Structure 1
Amino acid sequence: METGSRCRDRIAAPLVCVFLACLLAACGDGYPRKDLGLDNPTAGVSAIDIVARLNRMNKGSLTATRWQFSLLGPCQLRLVGRGGDRPERILTVRLLHGALQVKGNLGESVQAVQVNFDGTPELVDEHLFEAERWTDAVEYATNLQALQRICARSRNASPAPARASAAVAN
């Protein structure tokens, strides 16, 4: 006949193991499920579809200026900015001459995508996109980089040399 403490130990050990197994199964790999699916969101997507995706994302941006994009060719993007304390702005940028930067934690847990295009001083220090979730900012930058890659491929198909510069930093 077993004593009370030995019986308790024989029951407690398996219960602790079952509890830990349930806890580990619930945690998974620790990565939030709502952020999954960003492995390569632009694979096989056309430039027109990417611009449409960026325009949908722009509608939810936290920036004062709302941007609307349109393609003027494989390597030029037209930006129309409305809102904020500025009059409407219309800019044309060359995609291969842009540097992307994703900035985190701008205060109230805001993530931002800043894009500087050579020859477009109006965009220096301008946030094209701001969001609460880091993954949204990274997805936005990824879409812009995909447009740059499409442009570079179209330029490589022609005899003109291409200069690509895109960097995503934290």
Structure 2
Amino acid sequence: MIKHEEIQRHTIAVLVDNESGVLARVIGLFSGRGYNIESLTVAEVNAADNLSRITIVTSGTRQIIEQIKNQLRRLVPVHKVSDLTIEGPHVGRELALVKVSSTGEKRVESLRIADIFRARAIDSTNESFVFEVVGATEKVDAFIKLMEPLGLVDVSRTGVAAIARGAAAL
């Protein structure tokens, strides 16, 4: 009998030099080996030391995730790789802008659902709303799914921003 390993979603934080081409090298590592990136965020986190943080959400078996982390560590501009999923408690959030176009009862229902999800209406016309929803990816997914029958028109998502809980730093 062949044992199949379970595929799990992991959030990986990578501290890198903030310079041209680093992101392309990280993405190339994934695409060159056929690994999928489910979410990707990048931002400068330390201007004095010229460092950026890349947060990647990917899925794979334990072996594949270990291979990804080891290959990331070998890249020259990478300072630290942290698998937030296994290294302890962490907080992850995503922001989405969700445009819904509807009238009448569907319009009222979209406002009710937005209230339940603590989404804010950040733009409104007579025919549409743009909602801002922030939370775990599952919360954002659920909100979008509920907006589909109410006139979902467009979605823009930031990707996951994540950080370890407690005093430890990347």
TM-score interval (norm. to shorter) = under 0.3
The one of the two structures with greater contact order (alpha-carbon pairs below 8 A, sep at least 6) is 2
Say which structure is richer in strand: 2
Say which structure is richer in helix: 1
Bigger CA radius of gyration: 1
TM-score by length of 1: 0.23
